Structure 1
């Protein structure tokens, strides 16, 4: 349907306004439907174990998809649900009731996984080591990490590592 603006016919102006509002509402509805569809696809992908939807895809969707903000004392039932917390995005990896004091999002990897861009762990593309104290990182021997503007080589596998690369006396890190 097309309406052409004609100043000599004020009713047509109202029709044009109504059409514009209808188009806007349809656009918002379509965006909301696509948002729900993508969220459901992430959940289905995780349930199937295919991991075809990458972190890069999820992060690219944040301009369009409105992921909910973390809620304390909230029952998270769905593995694969994406939430926001402190400006970062996290995937729910196990059903639970949130408790910020006992199980902070940033450090409770049994319940939350940080959604982030993948890095190769090379000199050209080091893995950023989080600067927030207490965050657990699965460090892999032979990969490079960036931390506070410096590069470090992991000299050993360190699952559940809480020691940043600049920790004095740790032979497991070598500053490059």
Structure 2
């Protein structure tokens, strides 16, 4: 019997039915491996040791270069993607999608964020609007009351599972403090409203009594 013992993992390769047959020392092969191992120890002259391949210095250098290139490409791609999500314009629905993919850094107490930095908190994307930036405080998350001068919500509530576009058939979900766009539609407390003007950092819910900036829609188009 011609036996090859692979020193890299202590398995054997024998000929079976005219084909190479690999027998590792694990699982269902354990008993068979023990038989071959006993045979090999009795007849060492029939055993060929297969030493693990040792690459040349040139091959090692090429492998290291290739690995470095892969890591560099991944780093550049990650940096480019991070820069794009921080600077490009997106719709409210697109911000929701990007938040779901976790492409924005998660708001973390103790971190310092400059003006313009986009972060996500509880599935909603916010932008730091404070000219001096902000050092995040545990008791003052972006969703807290009175934080609109610091954080501005850019996306919609992720719990809805929809991607609204502000049309009458697919309205935005109104979020306290969001930038409201003229002629867009918003749902709030089970009702539909149309914005009659732009309202940056809007703190007036659509059902605010006597507010001309909102019109309740009672008839569908």
Cα offset for 1:61? 1.7
Q: Give the TM-score taking structure 1 as reference length.
A: 0.57
Q: Which has the higher contact order (CA 8 A, sep 6+)?
A: 1
Structure 2 residue 211 is matched with structure 1 residue 158: no
State whether residues 129 and 145 of structure 1, in contact with CA within 8 Å, keep that contact through their aligned partners in structure 2. yes
Question: Mapping of 1:15-164 within 5 angstroms?
Answer: 40-46=79-85, 49-51=87-89, 54-62=94-102, 68=106, 70-76=107-113, 80=117, 82-83=119-120, 85=121, 87-93=122-128, 95-101=133-139, 104-106=141-143, 107-108=147-148, 110-111=150-151, 113-116=153-156, 119-130=164-175, 135-164=176-205
Residue deviations 1:69-127 (CA, integer Å, cap 9, x gap): x32232236965644x3x223355465311355x5412436445444476321111111
Q: Give the TM-score taking structure 2 as reference length.
A: 0.48
Cα offset for 1:37? 7.3
C-alpha change, 1:9 and 1:109, in structure 2 (3 Å) is farther
Contiguous gaps of at least 5 residues in structure 2: 1-21, 34-73, 157-161
Structure 2 residue 209 is matched with structure 1 residue 171: no
C-alpha change, 1:154 and 1:10, in structure 2 (3 Å) is farther
Partner of 2:47: none
- Partners of 1:10 and 1:80 in 2: how far apart? 62
C-alpha change, 1:166 and 1:126, in structure 2 (3 Å) is same
Give 3-state SS (helix, strand or coil) of 1:153's partner. strand
Tell me how large the CA RMSD over aligned residues is: 4.1
1:7 is matched with which residue: 28, 40, 50? 28
C-alpha change, 1:61 and 1:138, in structure 2 (3 Å) is closer
- Partners of 1:10 and 1:97 in 2: how far apart? 64
State whether residues 39 and 81 of structure 1, in contact with CA within 8 Å, keep that contact through their aligned partners in structure 2. no
- Higher Cα Rg, which structure: 2
Contiguous gaps of at least 5 residues in structure 1: 13-33
